[in-house]
Chain A
Amino acid sequence: MHPITPYHYVFLSAALLVVGTIGVLTRRNIIIILMSIELILNAVNINLVAFSHQLANVNGQIFAIFVITDAAAEAAVGLGILIALFRNKETVNADEVDLLKW
């Protein structure tokens, strides 16, 4: 069995980032978009933890915990906005919500 190397981590992280980015850009459901953002954030977390382990520096892991905290807060605010939006517009489709244009 091959040992898990930093390449694997980097590869997994890059794959998750791409999946998340594509999800954000292509999906219309805002819940899915939020979930995709979580994917992107967690891709970054894997990277941080992997290199923390590799370099034996705990800073990366501390930073990952901050990112998780931030993601939780972001999800809470995002879902709050989503519920308010749904009450007013009765939709969760991102392309039906274009109030911020000229």
Chain B
Amino acid sequence: MVSAGDLGFFLRNIWVIPLIPLAGAAAMLLFGRRLDPQGGGHGEQGHDHHAGGGTGGRTGKALISLLCPGAVGLAFLFSLGAVVELAGRAPQARRAEVVVFQWLTGSGNFQAAWGFLLDPLSSVMILVVTGVGFLIHVYSIGYMGHQGGYYRFFGYLNLFVFFMLMLVLANNYVLLFVGWEGVGLCSYLLIGFYFHRKSAGDAGNKAFLVNRIGDAAFLLGILLMFATLGTAQFTQVTDLLRSGKYAPQAAQYFNLMALLLFIGATGKSAQIPLYVWLPDAMEGPTPVSALIHAATMVTAGVYMVARSNALFVLAPETMGLVAIIGAATAIFAASIGLVQNDIKRVLAYSTVSQLGYMFLACGVGAFWVGIFHLYTHAFFKALLFLGSGSVIHALSGEQDMRKMGALKDKIPVTFRTMFIAALAIAGIPGLAGFFSKDEILWQTWSSQGGAHRFLYGIGILTASFTAFYMWRLMNMTFYGASRVEQDVERHIHESPKAMTVPLMVLAAGSVAAGWVGIPKVFHFPESWPSLEHWLAPVFAGDPRQVAAAAEHHSAAAEWGLMALSVALAVGGILLARRMYHQQPELADSMEQRLKPLHTLLLNKYYIDEIYNALFVNGLAKGGGTLLGRFDAGVVDGGVNGAGWMTRFSSTLSIWWDTWIIDGSIRLGAFLVKLSSYPVRILQTGLVQSYALSIVVGVILLFGYYLWR
């Protein structure tokens, strides 16, 4: 093991962090079944908490409930220790790299180590992954407690945390790719957790397949990096690119390389055109949606782009594309979210939209803001998902918001915590979402580039959409008249402590998480913790960021834009309140008047259908037919031809054998037989004829000697 001698205990041993949840996962997946006797089954009852388990597995379940969240909690504490040690170092020395062993050594430059890197960027990520992950694990104890497959669920969840930590702690792209594929696998397993339901299995397949497209591009990007830069280790790549000491001909590949990495990111982070899997991923259990499909895994793409910032800065065209795709995804998904009726789907589209924001930030060169939004988003989106899970739990599995309403006083903790989260995501000043979203909008506004004002317009429109759909969700769920079905109504109850406590913790985070990114115009003291300063060593030397910072002069403009976005957010909230609470008939009449638009949005722009026709039926099946013909004609033809040739030559061989080899033998036999006929006549088998010959012979001999 190679490590700098002056690192503290935690920094020297950061490689232990992923191993803790791995141990939990291994314990669950290898021995979990023994702990949880009915665990082999599955949650057929969905959220029916009255089903209850037998008493047999109670101690086993308690052990699982202790072990798995405990493993993640331990990893969180370990991470915290490491980050505290990291913070104790000088800003430029905040980098701990530990190589456990050399993993791949190929020909030429191709090599990858099982190495870990903790720097300010990965420190944010590991805290989010283990911190939010721990809360969601705790929440799952309550949420999954009455469903089958308890050990399986926690095993997968721990495995996910392991891979996610590998992803964010890896010190090179190849190891990052290991984590990247691993989280994809866990995502697949957990989306399809209710595997007896066909839609869940299909959603899992869809997520896996769509991700493959991005992953293939990502892998190509990594290989291109090896080919041009000769290394895939983050620190080496970054130093090489910043110093400009790369081979001159490598420069022409930077755009392509960045594009390939970005395509990988669009797959994992659900951006246009590969976002289609994320809404379907809501088939998984709600804690999974919160952890994997909102807070952590889907942000891996943002992390990866931010990690590759040195490369992206050198690829301005790709940067522009990142910004455009980000903005387009943000508005596109937000507009779909406006009309969806499934509570989890609204949140899913919201997630896609917020991820778009993050890419927009990265695309305009404000990488730290992208990470900032990633970090605040993890809190309020996880909270929203867990809150929706709590609502669904209370309503015995109902997810359709048209069958909710007036839950405000029945599940007060859930209501209050979700209220905070909805304010945060809408961008109400003082809460987490406000700071990060506003920073993105401000950076977009002040960035260089032709279309930045247009992108800003899209961004701020998305912000108002966000406020609207989020408060539409809140109003439909918690306010107004109850539309809950009768027999469900009787069972409504607040969730157990295991679920509400994580909600409250996340609510606190949703309030406070943004305080580390307070804009400069507020003139907070220098000593106030700033995420920008914390991340600065990672993104230092980024000329566009420096240029953007230089434009931070117009305080008046910043105040004005801030006021505008707040006004739009409040407007969105009030409009939603008016349409879905005060005058519900208004929503219906709007829906009638804008029927075509509404239908278009409700059907998600028919993107799934278009993809189905274009790629599934068109390319895959059509191409399949084409390939089938090729197979039947050329490939099979070749094989059949070879077979025919063999048979033909064997026929020739048979002929040769029959007529030449056998023929000559038989000819010899025939000749011998033919010549035997005259002799055979003599041999009668009759004793007396032989005796006669003897007598005749004797007489002849006698006569010969007599008359000689």
- Mark A residues whose CB is within 8 Å of B: 21, 24-26, 28, 33, 94-95, 97-102
Contacts and interface: CB of A to CB of B under 8 A. Distances in A.
A99 B691 CA distance: 16
A25 B686 contact: no
B683 A101 contact: yes
Interface in B679-700: 680, 683-688, 691-692, 695
B221 to A, nearest CB: 91
Contacts of A26: 688
B691 A98 contact: no
A25 B686 CA distance: 11
A8 B477 CA distance: 154
Nearest to A24: B691
B687 A101 contact: no
A30 B695 CA distance: 18
A28 B687 CA distance: 10
Nearest to B699: A21
B691 A25 contact: yes
Contact of B688 (A25, A99, A101): A25
A98 B684 contact: yes
B237 to A, nearest CB: 97
B695 A21 contact: yes
Contacts of B684: 98, 101
Given A33-B688, A101-B686, 16 more contacts: A24-B688, A25-B692, A25-B695, A33-B687, A94-B688, A97-B685, A97-B687, A98-B684, A98-B685, A99-B685, A101-B683, A101-B684, A101-B685, A102-B680, A102-B683, A102-B685
Contacts of A102: 676, 680, 683, 685
Contacts of B687: 33, 94, 97
A18 to B, nearest CB: 11
Contacts of A99: 685
Contacts of A28: 688
Given A21-B695, A25-B692, A25-B695, A94 B683 contact: no
Contacts of B686: 94-95, 97-98, 101
A4 to B, nearest CB: 27
Tell which of B683, B686, B692 has the most Cβ of chain A within 10 Å: B686
Nearest to B684: A101
Interface string B658-695: 00000000000000000010001001111110011001
Contacts of B692: 25
A43 to B, nearest CB: 14
A25 B692 CA distance: 6
Contacts, number: 33
B140 to A, nearest CB: 97
Contacts of A21: 695
A40 to B, nearest CB: 11
A99 B685 CA distance: 6
A37 to B, nearest CB: 10
Interface of B: 676, 680, 683-688, 691-692, 695
Q: Which 8 A-B pairs have the closest CB atoms?
A: A101-B685, A98-B685, A100-B685, A102-B680, A101-B683, A98-B686, A102-B683, A94-B687
Contacts of B695: 21, 25
Nearest to B687: A94
11 contacts: A21-B695, A24-B688, A94-B687, A95-B688, A97-B687, A98-B684, A98-B685, A100-B685, A101-B684, A102-B680, A102-B683
Nearest to B680: A102
Contacts of B688: 24-26, 28, 33, 94-95
Contacts of B676: 102
A97 B685 CA distance: 7
A101 B686 CA distance: 8
A97 to B, nearest CB: 7
A66 B686 CA distance: 30
Contacts of A101: 683-686
A95 B689 CA distance: 9
A26 B689 CA distance: 10
A42 B468 CA distance: 145
Nearest to A98: B685
Contacts of A98: 684-686
Contacts of B685: 97-102
B690 to A, nearest CB: 9
A16 to B, nearest CB: 15
A22 B140 CA distance: 123
Contacts of A25: 688, 691-692, 695
A35 B500 CA distance: 130
Nearest to B677: A102
A96 to B, nearest CB: 9
Contacts of A94: 686-688
A101 B680 CA distance: 8
A94 to B, nearest CB: 5
Contacts of A95: 686, 688
Nearest to A27: B688
A100 to B, nearest CB: 5
A75 to B, nearest CB: 16
A89 to B, nearest CB: 13
Contacts of B683: 100-102
B695 to A, nearest CB: 6
Nearest to A101: B685
A74 to B, nearest CB: 14
B683 to A, nearest CB: 5
A97 B686 CA distance: 7
Contacts of A33: 687-688
A100 B686 CA distance: 8
A28 B689 CA distance: 11
B190 to A, nearest CB: 90
A76 to B, nearest CB: 18
A87 B691 CA distance: 25
Nearest to A96: B686
A1 to B, nearest CB: 34
B6 to A, nearest CB: 110
Chain A CB within 10 Å, residue with most, of B688, B692, B695: B688
Contacts of B691: 24-25
A82 to B, nearest CB: 12
A31 to B, nearest CB: 13
A43 B228 CA distance: 124
Nearest to A28: B688
A24 B692 CA distance: 9
A98 B684 CA distance: 7
B698 to A, nearest CB: 9
Nearest to B692: A25
Interface centre among A26, A94, A99 (most CB of B within 10 A): A94
B131 to A, nearest CB: 106
A39 B685 CA distance: 24
A100 B684 CA distance: 8
A26 B692 CA distance: 9
A10 to B, nearest CB: 15
A100 B682 CA distance: 12
A47 B695 CA distance: 19
